Homo-oligomer: A and B are copies of this chain.
Amino acid sequence: MSRGYGVQFHPEVSHTRQGSQVLANFLYGICGMPGDWKPGSIVDREIARIHAAVGPGAGGGEVVLGLSGGVDSSVAAVLLQRAIGDRLHCIFVDNGLLRLGEREAVERTFREHFHMDLAVVDASERFLASLAGVTDPETKRKRIGKEFVDVFQKEAQRFARAKFLAQGTLYPDVIESVSARGPSQTIKSHHNVGGLPERMKLKLVEPLRELFKDEVRAIGRHLGLDGTIVDRQPFPGPGLAVRIVGEVTKERLDILRHADHIVTTEIEKAGAHKGLWQYFAALLPVKSVGVMGDARTYESCCALRIVESQDGMTADWAYLDRELLARISNRIINEVRGFNRVVLDVSSKPPATIEWE
């Protein structure tokens, strides 16, 4: 007689006490799994899979990959370079929704350090135009996804021989975007699991599709990737657009970018980023009254989102030192024209999400 096992809660989320123990008991005790996960073995397995899909030798297929500079696509790129060498072509789309200095850092790392074939496309005006007047978060994501596909597709056509598209999709993206079995409501649509491969008639290569973030980081380290990339905080595909509540404008992007840079540098300078999952600024388009000198101000509000998490599936808001928080708040209010108030997001995920949109 076969046995069935089931749970009516979420043992896999870190908020569940003893949840890992429940899973460990099941996997090691009942199923008799060996527990022999090692970055090296995953790398070997994924290289074998890539070879099987793309072809192993010099005559194998070519692959284009959308490089964002984040952990996921960076690890995917280095993994693919390891597997297929210069048959990998990377495309970086500057959508104008990036953080300060982000594009330059990507060029430095992948072009100069890894010597990859990296095409950089500046499409910021196009993205901004398509976001004009849009306030609904899902519409923003869809517009950005569509622009990305258009820009990427056009650029990818330069690589006529490429029949494969690689993406750094992780397991949490898969869970949140598509239902494994049966209907489960879409929380957010991830444009990197969208309609790109169908339109481009490319086969999808997703070497990280079964992995969680901490596993991807371990693999990245194993592949010799720099700590500044491997330990980088996650950054959403739609970028700063989903950190500006309401309409995205050039002006709002500029002030958010400035504030976000203050958040990042102050936290890192204090060494407080160790143990943090993400730390960033968001723009809330609510005007509140303030006073500067003897004059009245009426400006937007900057929200700080600073969280601890194991895997991004659940997250706790982090409570920085008072002094550090005060320094960040004061610097933003004093240095960034357009913000006269700073708030700290003290909501856990769930029921809030890490990103505001």
Q: Which residues of A contact B (CB under 8 A)?
A: 137, 184-188, 245-246, 284-292, 294-298, 301, 303-304, 317, 319, 322, 325-326, 329-330, 333-334, 340-353, 355-357
Contact = CB atoms under 8 A, between A and B. Distances in A.
A245 to B, nearest CB: 5
Given A301-B284, A325-B319, A289 B343 contact: no
B288 A357 contact: yes
Contact of A347 (B186, B245, B342): B342
Given A286-B246, A286-B286, A289-B356, A344 B347 contact: no
Nearest to A323: B319
A346 B343 contact: yes
A350 B186 contact: no
Contacts of A289: 137, 187-188, 353, 355-357
Contact of A329 (B301, B329, B346): B346
Contacts of A345: 341-343
Contacts of A342: 345-347
A101 to B, nearest CB: 26
Contacts of A326: 317, 346, 348
A303 B286 CA distance: 12
5 contacts: A137-B289, A185-B296, A188-B289, A288-B356, A330-B348
Contacts of A295: 185
Contacts of A352: 288, 290-291, 333, 340-341
Given A288-B245, A351-B333, A356-B289, A296 B341 contact: no
A289 B291 CA distance: 31
A348 B329 contact: yes
Contacts of A351: 290-292, 297, 333-334, 340
Which residue, of A188, A301, A322, A325, has the highest number of chain B Cβ atoms within 10 A? A301
A356 B289 CA distance: 6
Given A185-B294, A292-B350, A326-B348, 12 more contacts: A187-B291, A188-B289, A284-B284, A284-B286, A289-B356, A290-B351, A319-B325, A333-B347, A333-B352, A340-B351, A341-B356, A343-B343
Nearest to A284: B286
A38 B291 CA distance: 33
A295 B188 CA distance: 11
A350 B245 contact: no
B344 A343 contact: yes
Nearest to A295: B185
A56 to B, nearest CB: 42
A184 B294 contact: yes
Given A246-B286, A286-B246, A291 B325 contact: no
Contacts of A347: 290, 329, 333, 340-343
Contacts of A317: 326, 329
A91 B317 CA distance: 46
Nearest to A183: B294
Nearest to A135: B287
A123 B2 CA distance: 70
A15 to B, nearest CB: 11
B350 A290 contact: yes
Contacts of A184: 294
